Every structure is written in structure tokens, then in C-alpha cells.
């Protein structure tokens, strides 16, 4: 049972490039979320989804897009990367009380 | 607003109890959580409390919830060096408790 799988683990992008961070879960959870973690700021919610076809904005959605075409996958897209998006990104999936987190993607934008 | 607040640092002596405090804003939160993050790692759920409870104990961990004051605390008894980490308080919010909002984390360091 893989849980929540994020890829890649590390990525360096140039300003203006685009990329997609992948997140997949095999627990059939309805709720999935993306967070970014910056020093001294904890985890901030970027986007979340309560089921396939349904997404909503979190605390810091600007510069990011998401889609949820299947229950298993919740990719996060950066259309034009900026240095301010340098961060560690965590995907989470949840059923009722407990949220399961992926191991994170460390993204650097130069 | 969506605000979960914690102090940034706590230092305790090995063997003493650690108490990490948190305040939150949404009185309709369904679940309140404590997560632990060790250096370079993801988040590990330590414990959670349902909003209609005021206390939960799990081995060395005790969670106290004061709904009137919107205050949550985590007590770690007999603190060990392995407890050094960042501890995050979080609350579930929104319809069907669909969002989880985190505090900024409290870095716990252990003195010998």
C-alpha cells in the first residue's frame, strides 16, 4: 500500500518555465490538498479537492492550477514559475479525521 | 479569518514535560490535530481530538481542548531527545471539514 506518492522529490526550474507536480493516492480518499511549506510560516493551503471534478482555492492559490479528473490523482501545475514559488510542496489525502501526507517535493526556481 | 497561531520555539529539559499551545479561530472546527515534523521529513500525525471532546490521552501525549477560548494544547510527558521536532497544530474547516489549516509550527528543542 503506497499511500500518498509525490513526484518528483526535487526540481530546479528557471523563471518562466512550467511544470506539474504529481500526486497520487491509492486509498480511495475523496479529499486531497496541496500545501507549500516555507520557513517560519508552517504549511499554507494552495488548493484542495473534495472529490473528482471538484476543486477549490486555499489560502495561497495564485500562480497555481489544479485539476481532479480521477479520485487517485491531484496534479499541481505551475504555468510560469517565479522565484517566490521556491518552497517545499506537500500533497495530502484524507478520509474523515486523518490526513496522510506525501514525502514532499523541494522546488527551487532560479 | 483562517488563523491558527502557535509560538515559534520551546526549549525544555530532558525528562521534563513539554506543553505546546495553539489558538484557533473557527469555532465550527470538527477536528483539531497535532502533527510532528522531523528535519527533512514529511508530517506525521501524532494525535487529533474531535471538537466535542475536551481531553484525549495517548501514552505520553495529552491533548486539552478549551472550546470557549479556542485553545488547544499538547503535553508531552517525560520529554526525550527523540521528541525534538517541529510540532504543528491544525484545524479542519469548511463544509464537511474539507480543509485543514495549519499553524506556523513550534520548534521543540531538548536540553540535556
Q: Please, which pLDDT band fits residue A1 given cuts at 50, 70 and 90?
A: low
Q: Please, which pLDDT band fits residue B41 given cuts at 50, 70 and 90?
A: confident
User: B88 to chain A: which residues are within 8 Å by CB?
Assistant: 42-43
| pLDDT value for B36 | 95
Cell numbers standing for residue A26: 491509492
Q: Which helix (H) or strand (E) holds B49?
A: strand B43-50
Which residues of A1-110 form beta strands (DSSP E)?
Answer: 4-7, 10-13, 19-25, 31-37, 43-51, 54-57, 64-66, 76-78, 87-95, 98-101, 105-109
| Average pLDDT for chain B | 91
**Which of B85, B26, B4, B42 is CA-nearest to residue A44?**
B4
Q: Note whether B91 and A59 are within 8 A (CB).
A: no
Cis check for the bond before A8: say yes or no (omega within 30 of 0).
yes
| pLDDT value for A40 | 74
Average pLDDT over residues A98-104: 88
| pLDDT value for B94 | 72
Q: How many other C-beta atoms can be found within 10 angstroms of the C-beta atom of residue A99?
A: 25
Taking only the tens place, the pLDDT of each residue in A20-69 is 999 999 999 999 999 999 987 789 999 999 999 999 999 999 999 999 99
Highest mean pLDDT among A11-20, B34-43, B95-104: A11-20
Which residues make Cβ contacts (< 8 Å) with residue B20, sequence separation at least 6? B6, B7, B10, B34, B73, B74, B75, B76, B87, B89, B106, B108
pLDDT value at B97 more than 80: no
Of B42, B48, B100, the CB nearest to A103: B42
| CA distance to partner chain A, nearest, from residue B59 (Å) | 19
Percentage of chain B beyond pLDDT 70 is: 96
Which residues make Cβ contacts (< 8 Å) with residue A108, sequence separation at least 6? A11, A12, A13, A86
Cell numbers standing for residue B3: 488563523
Gap between the Cα atoms of A64 and A46, Å rounded: 8
Q: Note whether A66 and A34 are within 8 A (CB).
A: yes
Q: Please, which pLDDT band fits residue A80 given cuts at 50, 70 and 90?
A: very high
* B88, closest residue in chain A (CA to CA): A42
Residue to mutate among B23, B33, B100, B107, with most A CBs inside 10 A, is B100
List C-alpha distances in Å: A5 to A27, A77, A79, B48: 11, 16, 22, 23
Gap between the Cα atoms of A77 and B11, Å rounded: 39
User: A31 to chain B: which residues are within 8 Å by CB?
Assistant: 98
Q: Please, which pLDDT band fits residue B2 given cuts at 50, 70 and 90?
A: low
Q: Which helix (H) or strand (E) holds B21?
A: strand B18-24
| Average pLDDT for chain A | 93
Q: Note whether A33 and A49 are within 8 A (CB).
A: yes
Whose cell is 470557549? That residue is: B68
| pLDDT value for B29 | 80
Amino acid at each position: 500500500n503506497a499511500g500518498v506518492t509525490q513526484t518528483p522529490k526535487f526540481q530546479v526550474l528557471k523563471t518562466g518555465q512550467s511544470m506539474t507536480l504529481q500526486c497520487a493516492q491509492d486509498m480511495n480518499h475523496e479529499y486531497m490538498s496541496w500545501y507549500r511549506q516555507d520557513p517560519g510560516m508552517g504549511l499554507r493551503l494552495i488548493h484542495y479537492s473534495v472529490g473528482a471534478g471538484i476543486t477549490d482555492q486555499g489560502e495561497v492559490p495564485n500562480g497555481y492550477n489544479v485539476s481532479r479528473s480521477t479520485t487517485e490523482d491531484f496534479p499541481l501545475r505551475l504555468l510560469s514559475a517565479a522565484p517566490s514559488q521556491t518552497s517545499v510542496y506537500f500533497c495530502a489525502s484524507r478520509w474523515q479525521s486523518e490526513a496522510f501526507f506525501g514525502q514532499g517535493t523541494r522546488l527551487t526556481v532560479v | 479569518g483562517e488563523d491558527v497561531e502557535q509560538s515559534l520555539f520551546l526549549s525544555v529539559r530532558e525528562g521534563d514535560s513539554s506543553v505546546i499551545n495553539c489558538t484557533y479561530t473557527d469555532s465550527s472546527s470538527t477536528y483539531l490535530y497535532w502533527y510532528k515534523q522531523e528535519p527533512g521529513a514529511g508530517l506525521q500525525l501524532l494525535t487529533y481530538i474531535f471538537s466535542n471532546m475536551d481531553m484525549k490521552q495517548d501514552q505520553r501525549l495529552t491533548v486539552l481542548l478549551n472550546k470557549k477560548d479556542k485553545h488547544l494544547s499538547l503535553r508531552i510527558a517525560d520529554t526525550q531527545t527523540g521528541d525534538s521536532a517541529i510540532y504543528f497544530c491544525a484545524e479542519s474547516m469548511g463544509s464537511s471539514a474539507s480543509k485543514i489549516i495549519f499553524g506556523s509550527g513550534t520548534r521543540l528543542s531538548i536540553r540535556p
